Structure 1
Amino acid sequence: MTTDIVVDRNDPAVVIVTLNRPERRNALTLAMWTELGRIFADLSADANVRAIILTGAGGAFSAGADISEFPAVRATVEDGHTYEAAGNHCQVAIASCTKPTIAAISGPCFGGGVGIALSCDFRVADASAYFAIPAARLSNVYGIVETRALFDAVGLAVAKEILFTGRRYNAEEALRLGLATHAAPRAALQGAADLAKGMSGSAPLTIKGTKIVLEAIARNETEQRKAAIDTVMDEAMASADYREGVAAFAAKRDPRFVGK
């Protein structure tokens, strides 16, 4: 695993994934896109993990893609397709994670950094955070995965403004527009940890299943995804966790869920 991404399992239930290139404001290389997607896929399958926080080192979330490597990794149209596929795979891995995912955003969150933040379920920003997608200043067109995530968060008109102008938005503006979902009164990482703690005791099968149901509703694909929805509902109903939840409720104690 590259040291450009650090995975902190000090709390096995709440894992912190840190982009660790502070000297480059955590700009994402092609290798990091690939590695980050793999990390989230692995954490999604880990029964011990109850929530994942994604953050950046050195007071920055991410400056986005590392443009300095573009002459080497995006020299041709074909190279560009390969690069975009890696970024898309990463964002899909984050978005499809079965655990709650929280971006803790301090400092700059630009371009591809916005993309991975929007792939998370929640985005906690502190007062130092600021956001921009400067595609129009690079003559770059964002693909479906990134643009859909932006559209889902802010709506059509605001998405157009963000992409057409490339302007910066401070934390207060980001919260109002939907780029951020929570404002941290102090450091973003602490705010994200507080949010994760409130979810880490929840039933994993409920979270996994609810994410599938909500995604189907958001995409207007409830009929196409009915089989998958029925499966997660049946899985939860037949689980030991369901029996534990009922027993804990009757005994007036906190449930102890295991994800089975």
Structure 2
Amino acid sequence: MSSHGEDIELSLANGVAEVRLNRPNKRNAVSLAMWRRLSEIFSGLAGNPEARAVILTGSGGHFCAGADISEFAEVRADVEAGRVYEHATEEATIAIRDWPGPTIAAISGYAMGGGCGLALACDIRVGDPTAKMGIPAARLGIIYSPLDCNLLYRQVGLANAKRVLYGGRPFGFDDCVRMGLLDIAAETDALAAARDLALSLAENAPLTLKGSKLILEACADGSAAARGTEIDAVIDAGIASADYAEGRQAFMEKRKPVFVGR
């Protein structure tokens, strides 16, 4: 499964999907059409049992410079257009955040503004020493939505979230690691490190990965008690699964398990 030559490229092999922003001449700035396409891609991958992990990355040495501000005069010119635009960005962010399995952002170069938001929507951020992250909203007169603010807040804490939003400047690799904007520091190549991680995760039991994500997210947003029936059903499905039987058998036989996702 692959698509090439588009503003967003998609490939899938060995259980790992790669979604690549592909506008290197604009440092992968995201157009309105691309926000909508991201939502479609991640929603589609959610129904694909062959995709066990997803890497989000960018072409040409940069993750994403943010939203394509050059089109704002047309697509974000007034309050009404702004609401339509924000709806598209939020749909994309939610589709990434709620993708049922592990998602990894592989960050080289700039991950600014909307690009930083895309990285924060992923489960894990892997960056290399070229990474620069930040949100320049304060330099553009833009106020970020509760969704984006919450993703930033839960990743770096209140004080660092204010530091990022108030300052509006890019932070270098070391600051990103210290604040928690980056979870894993790659020595040289973020994408290579992300691929190694994704392949290792794709070998694990898909039902466990999905169930763990569902429960952790419910704990994080305070909905675990309200979703108790759903959580119990996920746990019960794991116990009844062929993968659980395979995991037990492989452990007893001292071999690597082969999970099928059911």
Q: Which category of TM-score, normalised to the shorter sequence, fits these structures?
A: over 0.9
Map Cα deviations across residues 49-108 of structure 1 (whole Å, 9 max, x no partner). Answer: 121111000001001000000111111211111111111111111111112111000001
Report the Cα offset of residue 222 of structure 1. 1.5
Report the Cα offset of residue 12 of structure 1. 3.8
Greater mean alpha carbon deviation, residues 238-247 or residues 151-160: 238-247
Question: Separation in 2 of the partners of 1:224 and 1:94?
Answer: 23
Report the Cα offset of residue 41 of structure 1. 1.4
Partner residue of 1:14 out of 8, 16, 19: 16
Matches within 5 A, 1:17-28: 17-28=19-30
Question: Separation in 2 of the partners of 1:46 and 1:172?
Answer: 37
Aligned length: 259
Tell me the equivalent position of 1:232.
Answer: 234
Question: Separation in 1 of the partners of 2:14 and 2:90?
Answer: 28
Question: Separation in 2 of the partners of 1:94 and 1:82?
Answer: 19
Q: Determine whether 1:76 maps to 2:97.
A: no
Tell me the equivalent position of 1:214.
Answer: 216
Write the letter of the residue equivalent to 2:195.
A
Among the aligned pairs, what percent are the same residue?
A: 49
Partner residue of 1:43 out of 45, 55, 74: 45
Question: Separation in 2 of the partners of 1:144 and 1:45?
Answer: 28
Map Cα deviations across residues 198-231 of structure 1 (whole Å, 9 max, x no partner). Answer: 2111000001000011011111222111122111
Question: Separation in 2 of the partners of 1:3 and 1:20?
Answer: 7
Question: Separation in 1 of the partners of 2:55 and 2:173?
Answer: 19
Map Cα deviations across residues 25-52 of structure 1 (whole Å, 9 max, x no partner). Answer: 0000011011011111111221111211
Write out the 4+ residue segments of structure 1 that deviate beyond 2 Å after TM superposition. Answer: none
Question: Separation in 2 of the partners of 1:234 and 1:32?
Answer: 38
Write the letter of the residue equivalent to 2:153.
F
Write the letter of the residue equivalent to 2:87.
A
Tell me the equivalent position of 1:101.
Answer: 103
Q: Which runs of 5+ in 1 are unaligned?
A: none
Question: Separation in 2 of the partners of 1:182 and 1:249?
Answer: 29
Write the letter of the residue equivalent to 1:98.
P
**What is the CA RMSD across the aligned residues, in angstroms?**
1.1
Matches within 5 A, 1:149-228: 149-228=151-230
Q: Which runs of 5+ in 2 are unaligned?
A: none
Map Cα deviations across residues 82-141 of structure 1 (whole Å, 9 max, x no partner). Answer: 111111111111111112111000001100000010011110000001011000011110
SS at match of 1:169: coil
Write the letter of the residue equivalent to 1:55.
T
TM-score normalised by L of structure 2: 0.96
Write the letter of the residue equivalent to 2:63.
F
